[in-house]
Amino acid sequence: MSVRVIKPTLNELPAYVDALHRGWGPDNTRVKASADEQLERIKRDPIAFVNSLDDPDGKGPPVTLPDGSRVQRLPGFNRWIWDGAFCGSINFRWQSGGAELPPHVLGHIGYSVVPWKQGRGCATQALKLLLPECRAQGLAYVELTTDPDNIPSQKVITSNGGKMIERFTKAAAYGGKEALRWRIDL
Ligand SMILES: CC(C)(COP(=O)(O)OP(=O)(O)OC[C@H]1O[C@@H](n2cnc3c(N)ncnc32)[C@H](O)[C@@H]1OP(=O)(O)O)[C@@H](O)C(=O)NCCC(=O)NCCS
């Protein structure tokens, strides 16, 4: 199966809304909460919602962490993984001036594939397609984090040249559990 990563537009929004209604959510640390929040925002102003997904200047509202705390948004953008239908989302955020990230940001890239499209190579291909866009921001590498038992996500990273660099303890706002940090040189 071959996928594209597309800049979200109103044309694809109904497919995205359908995935949110089916229980998928873009933030895998807060699946239901992130889906409910987004459905509410889409109902209120669909155009503003779609526009907010492309935010290279980090002008959007603060980001809510799993413990409910809110932190300043970094520059970033979301892309939708698309095979003719909605497959999932992948996002990239960065800090201007280098590849360093604040400690509360769990990696430059996050992704989530809808359950009914998993295991078909969507995330592996989407990450491969996103990396040139990361390089274009001038970063020398990107970091990603996974839970120690998230083997599918680890395979997505290693298939794209990623290496595990450390085991660390997530910030208290994420529950303080163990996680793995990965790096892909660009
Ligand atoms: C992690 C995730 C994005 C992977 O998406 P995907 O499109 O299914 O991934 P791929 O099809 O590209 O598969 C990647 C590898 O994982 C394997 N895999 C996928 N689903 C699997 C499963 N349920 N059990 C075991 N292996 C699985 C694939 O076989 C593939 O392995 P290979 O490279 O040896 O062939 C998806 O499972 C997901 O959205 N999970 C919930 C959110 C999440 O965990 N996001 C990442 C946070 S770090």
The tokens for 127 are 């990450």
Question: Mean pLDDT throughout 20-40?
Answer: 94
Q: Which atom of ligand 1 is nearest to the CA of 28?
A: 42
Q: How far is the CA of 122 from the centre of ligand 1 (A)?
A: 8
- 145 pLDDT band, cuts 50/70/90, is very high
Q: Are 160 and 127 in contact (CB under 8 A)?
A: yes
- State residue 131's pLDDT score: 98
Q: How far is the CA of 120 from the centre of ligand 1 (A)?
A: 8
SS3 category, 96: coil
For the Cβ of 158 lying below 6 angstroms from any atom of ligand 1, the answer is no
> Which protein residue has the closest C-alpha to ligand 1 atom 26?
152
- Which residues sit opposite 145 in a β-bridge? 181
Q: What rounded mean pLDDT belongs to the chain?
A: 95
The answer to whether the CB of 148 is under 6 A from ligand 1 is no
Q: For residue 19, is pLDDT > 90?
A: yes
CB 51: neighbour CB atoms within 10 A?
14
User: In angstroms, what is the span from residue 125 Cα to ligand 1's centroid?
Assistant: 11
Which CATH number does the domain 4-185 belong to among 3.20.20.190, 3.90.1580.10, 3.40.630.30, 3.40.1280.30? 3.40.630.30
Q: Which residues contact 135 (CB under 8 A, 6 or more apart)?
A: 186
Q: Tell me the pTM.
A: 0.96
pLDDT tens by residue, 103-123 = 889 999 999 999 999 999 999
